[in-house]
Structure 1
C-alpha cells in the first residue's frame, strides 16, 4: 500500500492557474445535458468532485459554435448566452468548493451522422468525404469552413476566460476533428492540410495559435492528445519519437501551455524501443507541463467487455508507481476518470490513507449522474 502521497498533494502553478494539488478530474462525456445545455445536476456533479479535493475539474467535451460540431444527443454546447450563463454557474460552484475549472472545447468532426441535433439537416464534416452504403454521410471541409471552425474554437476559449474559467482544454484526441486531421487514416487530403505529417499538423497548429491569441497570455491553454481512437486502440499519430517530436514542438510553439496525454494505462511504454511512457516523452520533448491519465486508481486497467461496456474495476490501494513518477518529474499532474465517477471523495480518502473506504467503479454508475 502507498503511504507517502506528498507529491500528489503538492501545489502546481502554470500562468495564473494555481492548483492546491496534482489531481485533475479527467474530462468524461456523460450524456446528461438537457437540450445541449449543462444542468443543475451537472453543476452539482462537478462541484462534488471539487468538494472532494480535486484541484482541477475538466468538464467532458462541450461543443464549439459550428453547426456540425455535435455528434451526440445529450452533450452540452459551449456557445450562446443560455449555455454560457450556465457554465458560469458551474465555474462559480467549483470555485466556491475550492477547486478550479477548465472546459474542454470540442468538435466531433466525422463522428457526426445525418439527423443529429441541434441542426439535424447538417451532415458530418471532416478532413475528407466519407460514404456509407453509397450515402454521403461526411463532407470534406473546404478551406473557408476550416477558417470558420478555427474562429469558433478561438471564440469559445475567449468566452471561457470571460465567464471565469481558470484554463481551457482543446480536445485533440481520440479520433475527433483535430485528431482526424492529424491521423493519416482519416486525412487523405491533397492540399496544405493533408499529406506529410507537417501538413496534417496545420489545422491543429492554427487552432492552438488562434486560441492563444484570443485569451490572456497567462491563461493556460491545455491540449489533449492521444495515440488511440474511440474505435481503434492500436492507432498511432506518431510511430516513433521523431514523429512525436515534430508534433509536440509545433503545438508548443503555437501556444500550448500544458499537454494532457491520454493513454489507456499511464505506465505503459510509448514505443517498442524504450521504457519511457508517452507522458514522460511528451514532457521531455516539449518542455511543457504534462497531465498523465490512464487507469489511475483502479485495480483493473481501462477495458471493455465483449458487449463494449466498461468493466468493473476495484480500488487500487498501491499508488507507489504513480507517486514515484510524480516524484521523478515524469509528469506534473494526473487525471482521474472512473475512480472519480465512483467516488467524489477519492482525493480526500487517498490523502487520509483511507483506501478501504473508497468506492469501486462499476459500469452501473454510468447510468446516473452523482
Structure 2
C-alpha cells in the first residue's frame, strides 16, 4: 500500500518532489535509493526478505529504487572482495529472472519505479577456484594506497595471479552484460543502471592505473572508454529505446581514494562524451560528499554539475546526503543524522543535477524519504545497519 502523501507544496523539500521523465520512465519524485550491496542473496537469488526490503522503500516514498549491484554470468563477475561480500545476486538464467520479477511486482504497486544495477567486480574480487580476478592489464593498483580498513585484503588481492585477458575474453564479458540486461527486462524492471565506478571492472578500464593496454581496449583517455562504450551499446540493444540507462562513475577508487580519472574539465569531457553518445541517459557522479568541487581552480561546481555541463545529459548527485560523514568514514563508527537537504536543494535549484541518490539513510530507515518530506528529524547511522533486514 502506498503511503498517503501530504500537500507537497508545503514540504521543505518541495522542489525534489516533482516528477521526472527519463526516456519512457517517469519517476514520481527526484529522491532515489542508491544501490547498496548487503550480501543477502543465498544461491545468488533474492528471497522474501529482499522482496520486503525493497517494497518498504517504495512504501516510504522513494521515487526510484536502484537495486544492489547484480552480477553478470561471467565466472569472475562476483565473489568475495575480501570484505565478506558473499551471497551476491546474479542474472544467470530463468531462476534469477523469476526471483527478481517478484521484487519488481512488490515495488510497482507502491508507485515507485525500480531498476537493477549491473556490475562486474573486476580487480576488486578475490580470486577463487572458479576463476582468477579479472582486470584489463592483470593489475590491481597499489595496495598501499587502499583505505586503512581494507589494506590487508587489498595486499592479498594484489599479490595473486591476475592474468591479462585477451581481446576475445573481454568481448565475452561485454556480451555477458548484454545477456544480463535482457534478463533484467524479462524480469519487468523499468530501466537499467551500470556500475562504472569505485574501481570495479568498467571503471578499471577507464583508469590508467589499471588499464595499461594498447590496441582495441586501451590507449589514451578517450580510447580507454572503449569497454564502457561497448557495454553501454550491448545493454542499449537489450533494453530497447524506451527504457532509461543510468551510468555511475567516480573519480576515486577503493584502491585509491585520491585517484582521479580527470584533472580538468576537458579531460572529463574526453571520458564522459563517448559514454553519453553511446546511449546513456543519466550520469550519476559518485563522490564522497555530494557538493565537493570537482575542479576547485575552475569553480565550485560539483562533479555532477560538470557532467551535466559537459554532456547535456541528466545527472545525479550522491555522497553524504543526510549525514555528517561520508560512507567510508562510517565503516566502523556511527554518524549523526544531518539535514543537509537545504544544501542539496540549493544546488538542485541551480540546475547542477536532476536526481538525488540517498544511500545509508535509506538503508537504515525505509521511511527516510517520508520523514524528509515532512521535515521530521533525520535518523543517525549505525554501521550495524549494513546488515539490516528492515
Distance 1:252 1:137 in 2: 35
**Which shows bigger deviation, 64-73 or 16-25?**
64-73
1:14 matched residue in structure 2: 22
* Pairing partner for 1:175 from 199, 208, 215: 199
Aligned pairs for 1:263-278 (under 5 A) are 263-273=287-297, 274-278=299-303
CA contact (8 A) 2:12 2:374 kept: no
Q: Tell me the CA shift for residue 3 of structure 1.
A: 6.4
2:341 matched residue in structure 1: 319
Contiguous gaps of at least 5 residues in structure 2:
1-9, 81-85, 141-154
SS of 2:68's partner is: coil
Contiguous gaps of at least 5 residues in structure 1:
none
SS of 2:316's partner is: strand
1:310 and 1:50, CA in 2 relative to 1: closer, same or farther beyond 3 A?
Answer: farther
2:276 matched residue in structure 1: 252
SS of 1:248's partner is: helix
Provide the aligned C-alpha RMSD in A.
1.8
Distance 1:302 1:30 in 2: 14
SS of 1:125's partner is: coil
Distance 1:135 1:56 in 2: 40
SS of 1:341's partner is: helix
Q: Tell me the CA shift for residue 190 of structure 1.
A: 2.4
Q: Tell me the CA shift for residue 59 of structure 1.
A: 0.8
Distance 1:24 1:86 in 2: 22
CA contact (8 A) 1:130 1:137 kept: no
SS of 2:134's partner is: strand
* Pairing partner for 1:58 from 57, 66, 77: 66
SS of 1:35's partner is: helix
If the length of structure 1 is used for normalisation, what is the TM-score?
0.93
**Which shows bigger deviation, 257-266 or 294-303?**
294-303
More helix by share: 2
2:305 matched residue in structure 1: 280
SS of 2:356's partner is: strand
- How many correspondences in the alignment? 360
If the length of structure 2 is used for normalisation, what is the TM-score?
0.88
Distance 2:172 2:249 in 1: 22
Determine if the alignment matches structure 1 residue 99 to structure 2 residue 112: yes
Distance 1:114 1:342 in 2: 31
Distance 2:221 2:325 in 1: 35
Q: Tell me the CA shift for residue 160 of structure 1.
A: 1.4
Instruction: Render the CA deviation track for 1:191-240: whole Å, top value 9, x for unaligned.
Output: 23122112211111111112112222111011110111123111111111
2:83 matched residue in structure 1: none
1:113 and 1:317, CA in 2 relative to 1: closer, same or farther beyond 3 A?
Answer: closer
Distance 2:197 2:333 in 1: 22
Q: Tell me the CA shift for residue 31 of structure 1.
A: 1.3
Moved over 6 A (4+): 131-135
* Pairing partner for 1:90 from 97, 103, 112: 103
Aligned pairs for 1:192-203 (under 5 A) are 192-203=216-227
Q: Tell me the CA shift for residue 129 of structure 1.
A: 2.1
1:231 matched residue in structure 2: 255
SS of 1:59's partner is: strand
1:68 matched residue in structure 2: 76
Instruction: Render the CA deviation track for 1:128-180: whole Å, top value 9, x for unaligned.
Output: 12498896522212111111111111121122122210110011000000100
Aligned pairs for 1:283-294 (under 5 A) are 283-294=308-319
SS of 2:216's partner is: coil
